[in-house]
Amino acid sequence: MERCIAAFSGRSTERGQTYSFDDVYEKLSGNGAEPLFIVFSSDFDNFMQYTDLFREKFPESQVIGTTSFFNYTADGGTELGLSALAVYSGIECAGGVLEEAGRCPILHISAAKDAVSSLGLGESDAGKMCCLEFTTAYGKCEELVLDTLAKASGELNIPVIGCTAGVRKGTERSYVSLNGKVYTDSCVFMYIRDLNGRISIIRENAYKHTEHFFQATSVDCENSIVYEFNNRPAAVWLSSVVGADIPVLAQNAARHPIGRLHGDNIYVTSVKSIRPDMSVQFFSGIYNYSRVVLLEPDDAGAVIDRFMNRINGLDYIPSFSFAVNCAFDHDVFGSKGADDKLRSKLAGAVGVYSGVSGCGEQTDYMNVNKTLLIAAFE
C-alpha cells in the first residue's frame, strides 16, 4: 500500500457533472484501504457536490477542502475540476471549524484546543506537527483566525500553513468544507502529526524589494486600510514612488504590492483598492508605524530556483507535500510558462503532492499574498 496518492482531473466543466470526481475516486480507492486524511480543492460551482461525494465514498476519512482558482498535482493542473491528496498511513490528525471567522472566531477557540488535546500534542512533537487551515475569502477574517489558532497552540507554537479560498469569478463567494459540511465565513483546520518524522514549511516570495523603504504613519488595522505613508496620503505617496498617476496606479494596483518587514523576513501584501480619500486598502494588515518596502516582480525562474534550493536543503527526502501558491503568482507564472516548470521540479523533490491557489496564504501566523508555500512531510 502506498503511503500517499495525489489525483486530479479537469473533466468537469459544467455544474453537476461528476466526471472529475469519478477520475479522482478511481485512483484514491485503489490503494487497499480508506485514507486517514484527504485534502481537496476544486472550482466553485462543483465544490458542494464534491464535498458530498467525498463524505459518501470515504465516510471514515478526515476530509478538508477549499475552493481554488487552480488545482494541481505532479500530473498537471486545472482551473475547472478537482485535485486531492490522500494519506493512508503514518499520520494522526484532528480537525475542527472556527465559525464567525470575520467577526469573532475566538468564541470558537475550544474547537482548536480540543483538536490539539485529542492528539496529545506536546513539546516532544516539535518539528513533527502542523496546522493546515483554509479560510473563506473577503471576510477580513485571516488575522482574526490566525490570532485564534495562535492562542489555541499556546507555547507549542504549532506551525501553520493555509490558504484563503479561491472565489467564484466575478463575485466574492467562496467555500471551505470539513467532513461533508460546507461553510462560509469560517475557517476549517486540521492539526496533523507526522508519525514518520518531521514536517517542514518552506516559503518563498514571488516579488523582490525595490530601493523604496518607508513607514505606515496612519492605519486602520481592523480594515487593513493605510491612510498615510510617511505622513502623506497613502495613494499619493505610492503613486510618487511607483512613478504613475493615481488613476493608472488604481488600475494596476495589484502589481505594486508592499512588503511588511519583520526581522529578516518580508511578508507580502497586495493592494485591494485605492479609496476616494486617497487611502489604500490592502488584502492583509499593515500595522501603524511599521516599516515597509515597495516590491516588484521577481524573475519567475529565479523564484523557482530559490524555492527548490530551500526544499533540496532539507536533510530528509519528503514522502508527500502540500503546496499553496497565490492566484496572482499563477497568473504571472502561467503567462511566462513557469507553472509547468514549477510543477515538474516539485515532482522530483517533494514526493507525492497536490496544491491550491487562492486569494492569500497563511504562514508564521501571518496573512500574506504573492507567496509560494509548501509543507513537506518526512
Is pLDDT at 272 greater than 60 in this prediction?
yes
Q: How many residues does the chain have?
A: 378
For residues 15 and 51, the model is more confident at 51
Q: Please, what is the Cα angle at 323 between 203 and 297, to 5 degrees?
A: 50
Note the pLDDT of residue 81. 92
Note the pLDDT of residue 11. 86
Q: Are residues 38 and 174 in the same domain?
A: yes
Q: Are residues 29 and 123 in the same domain?
A: yes
Note the pLDDT of residue 29. 95
Cα 106 from Cα 120, distance rounded (Å): 22
Cα 230 from Cα 243, distance rounded (Å): 17
Domain around 263: 207-296
Do residues 323 and 377 touch, judged by C-beta distance below 8 A? no
Cα 323 from Cα 254, distance rounded (Å): 22
For residues 133 and 341, the model is more confident at 133
Note the pLDDT of residue 118. 97
This prediction has a pTM of 0.94
- Residue type for 340, please? D
* Percent of the chain topping pLDDT 90: 75
Q: Are residues 195 and 57 in the same domain?
A: yes
Q: Are residues 63 and 44 in the same domain?
A: yes
Note the pLDDT of residue 352. 96
Note the pLDDT of residue 331. 58
- What pLDDT, in 10s, does the model give residues 96-114? 999 999 999 999 999 999 9
Domain end (from 248, 276, 296): 296
- The total of structural domains in the chain comes to 2
Q: Strand 71-73 to strand 76-78: parallel, antiparallel, or no bridges (unpaired)?
A: antiparallel
Note the pLDDT of residue 293. 96
Is pLDDT at 170 greater than 90 in this prediction?
no
Is pLDDT at 132 greater than 90 in this prediction?
yes
Q: String of b and e for 157-172 (b: at least 16 CB within 10 Å)? A: ebbbbbbbbbbeeeee
Residue 106, class by beta-carbon neighbours within 10 Å (0-12 exposed, 13-18 middle, 19+ buried)?
middle
Q: Are residues 71 and 32 in the same domain?
A: yes
Q: Are residues 175 and 314 in the same domain?
A: yes
- As given in the structure block, the three cell numbers for residue 322 are 502540500
Note the pLDDT of residue 337. 60
Q: Are residues 199 and 214 in the same domain?
A: no
Q: pLDDT grade, residue 334 (50/70/90)?
A: low
SS (H, E, C) 349-369: CCCEEEEECCCEEEECCEEEC
The mean pLDDT of 287-307, rounded to a whole number, is 90
* Percent of the chain topping pLDDT 70: 97
- Mean confidence (pLDDT) of the chain: 92
Q: Are residues 122 and 60 in the same domain?
A: yes
